[in-house]
Amino acid sequence: MFGTGMVGTGLGSALAECGEEVMLGSRTADNPDSIEWAAGAGEGALSGTFADAAAFGELLFNATAGTGSLDALASVAEEDLAGKILIDVANPLDFSGGMPPLLFTGNDDSLGERIQRAHPDLRVVKALNTVTVDLMVDPGRLGDVHDLFICGDDDVAKREVERLLGEWFGWERFIDLGGITNARGTECYLALWIRLYQALGTPMFNMKVVRDDA
């Protein structure tokens, strides 16, 4: 798990509860947030640097601030990324001008693509970035079936991520948008997500795409 914020710790705890061994990675080995998390999240919970977490993990999550994601991944040995699936949960949000944030990638690029371009042997699957962390790990809390958008260039990796997200957290409905360039769509959705959050006063919502199946 790259990331020690609310997403890294929230996903990490949920995975540990599912019986997975999880290492949270940070810029520094002595990050107090990840040390505290590891002390409280059970036997299989560990903390280290981004490089340690990459070496440890069979499957990787990017839960870093979008502005730091490429630097976080650049600090890792390339052989510890090659061939592995990375579930990219991050969003390219620029809060430097205050709320609501802008997307620093514009709309003809995306963070998911930038990560895939920088690490061609990594199997980047963009998923979970369109829901708040409490729903990432427990979609059933909304009491209705709703959709998770997923994209990436590796079909086998996407099917594996769907299977795992179903098994771990109970996700049932996925909309596969296609290749990683479609991260432009799911990341741009954050512009709407943030305004919905402000209008509704809660992050506990998601999209349910109603279609005419006839």
Among 20, 21, 68, 138, binds ligand NAP (CB under 6 A): 68
The amino acid that residue 37 corresponds to is W
Are 49 and 25 within 8 A, CB to CB?
yes
Q: Least distance to ligand NAP from the beta carbon of 39, Å?
A: 16
- Binding piece for ligand NAP, criterion CB under 6 A, among 3-11, 52-60, 115-123, 166-174: 3-11
- 112: closest CA among 174, 64, 182? 182
Q: Could you tell me which residues are beta bridge partners of residue 173?
A: 147
Burial of 51 (0-12, 13-18, 19+ CB in 10 A): middle
Indicate whether 45 belongs to the interface with ligand NAP (CB under 6 A): no
* CA dist 109 → 123, 128, 196 (Å): 18, 19, 23
Q: Least distance to ligand NAP from the beta carbon of 102, Å?
A: 13
- The interface mask with ligand NAP, positions 16-35, x = CB under 6 A, is ----------xxx--x----
Among 3, 57, 112, 139, binds ligand NAP (CB under 6 A): 3
Residues 174-203 that bind ligand NAP (CB under 6 A): none
The C-alpha atoms of residue 171 and residue 128 are separated, in whole angstroms, by 10
Among 64, 105, 110, 116, binds ligand NAP (CB under 6 A): 64
Count of residues of this chain found to bind ligand NAP when the rule CB under 6 A is applied: 25
Q: Least distance to ligand NAP from the beta carbon of 88, Å?
A: 9
Residues 115-144 that bind ligand NAP (CB under 6 A): 129, 132-133
CA quadruple 9, 61, 166, 131: dihedral, nearest 10? 70
The C-alpha atoms of residue 150 and residue 157 are separated, in whole angstroms, by 11
The C-alpha atoms of residue 162 and residue 143 are separated, in whole angstroms, by 20
- Binding piece for ligand NAP, criterion CB under 6 A, among 35-43, 88-96, 118-126, 173-181: 88-96
Q: CA 26 from chain center: how many Å? A: 15
Binding site for ligand NAP (CB under 6 A): 3-8, 26-28, 31, 63-68, 71-72, 89-91, 93, 129, 132-133
